[in-house]
């Protein structure tokens, strides 16, 4: 964890993983429901395993409503020796608290700029990118407001953006349209979760806008099985798109969305399979190498050069 990011030193990078994901309001109101020690152990295990596969940096897009906590990230980074890159922004599919509902996008942007220029949560750790989201509800009025605020902070500070998208309802084109209207350089935008579809034409439509696409939910079979994710990745590589591809798992070392028994059911029903911070190294990359679509140069492009270029702009 660093106050300022020297993107030249990122090395092998996973661009989308969460060391912890939980609702900050529930966690603040009922802390006894959470076992901070167990959360830290799970994060250390996950990040430690990634480090053993050669990972030097993890980009963690946990924003507001995901329980962003740079103190926690810092503990994980210090104990594992893996750099963790933090963001600012709001992870909402529609809801906004009254605080932001009654303030405009420019004021919202000021909050993000503070995290980028001054530091997050009273620390000197600065946000290296901005996060926004659109999901099943589509680009609602509130989602649009968050996108405009993120865009304005990006334009003001030159900070890159990661936008969670949902291919099943084709949110991507409208998200990019808003960012473009605000003057964002789309070469600094990573559209997350494009790998949830195997519609290569849809993905190529987004690539044509100049963005990076995230094939970043390996292991979450409920959105798309790994086999189909691999076929999509292979086709994109064959078509020469390596320089705009990001591969990751969106793994959450712990997540409070489901009670433990529901989490077990997701695994036993195959909705989640081998979801971890190492799945891409253990299964995905060997499969892509076997197909002859991924060599050392392409690996370097996707896991070292693309994250560096996206974060640094150069
Ligand atoms: Zn995520």
Residue 300 CA to ligand 1 center (angstroms) comes to 23
Residue ranges near ligand 1 (ion) with Cβ within 5 Å: 250
Q: Are 90 and 153 in contact (CB under 8 A)?
A: no
What rounded mean pLDDT belongs to the chain?
96
Query: pLDDT per residue over 167-199, tens digit each?
Result: 999 999 999 999 999 999 999 999 999 999 999
pLDDT band at 36 (very low <50, low <70, confident <90, very high): very high
Q: Give the Cα separation of 32 and 198 in Å (integer).
A: 42
Its pTM stands at 0.96
Residue 18 CA to ligand 1 center (angstroms) comes to 7
pLDDT value at position 3? 41
Residue 116 CA to ligand 1 center (angstroms) comes to 20
pLDDT value at position 2? 45
Burial class (CB in 10 A: 0-12, 13-18, 19+), 106: exposed
Q: Are 46 and 20 in contact (CB under 8 A)?
A: no
Residue 62 CA to ligand 1 center (angstroms) comes to 7
Query: pLDDT per residue over 194-231, tens digit each?
Result: 999 999 999 999 999 999 999 999 999 999 999 999 99
């Amino acid at each position: 964890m660093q106050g300022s990011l020297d993107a030249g030193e990122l090395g092998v990078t996973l661009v989308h993983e969460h060391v912890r994901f939980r609702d900050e309001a529930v966690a603040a109101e009922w802390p006894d429901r959470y076992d901070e020690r167990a959360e830290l152990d799970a994060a250390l295990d996950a990040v430690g395993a990634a480090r053993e596969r050669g990972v030097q940096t993890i980009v963690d897009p946990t924003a507001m409503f995901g329980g962003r906590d740079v103190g926690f990230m810092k503990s994980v980074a210090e104990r594992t020796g893996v750099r963790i890159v933090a963001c600012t922004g709001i992870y909402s599919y529609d809801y906004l608290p009254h605080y932001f509902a009654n303030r405009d996008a420019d004021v919202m942007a000021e909050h993000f700029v503070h995290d980028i220029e001054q530091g997050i949560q009273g620390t000197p750790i600065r946000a290296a990118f901005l996060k926004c989201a659109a999901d099943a509800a589509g680009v609602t009025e509130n989602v649009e407001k968050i996108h405009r605020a993120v865009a304005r902070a990006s334009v003001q500070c030159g900070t890159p953006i990661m936008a969670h998208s949902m291919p099943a309802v084709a949110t991507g084109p409208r998200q990019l349209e808003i960012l473009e209207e605000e003057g964002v350089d789309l070469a600094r935008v990573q559209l997350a979760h494009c790998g949830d579809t195997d519609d290569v034409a849809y993905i190529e439509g987004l690539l044509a806008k100049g963005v990076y696409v995230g094939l970043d939910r390996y292991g979450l079979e409920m959105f798309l099985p790994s086999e189909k994710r691999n076929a999509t990745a292979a086709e994109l590589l064959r078509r020469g798109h390596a320089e705009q591809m990001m591969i990751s798992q969106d793994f959450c070392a712990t997540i409070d969305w489901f009670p433990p028994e529901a989490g077990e059911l997701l695994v036993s029903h195959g909705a989640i399979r081998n979801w971890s911070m190492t799945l891409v190294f253990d299964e995905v990359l060997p499969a892509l190498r076997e197909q002859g679509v991924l060599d050392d140069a392409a690996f370097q492009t996707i896991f070292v050069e693309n994250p560096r270029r996206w974060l640094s702009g150069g």
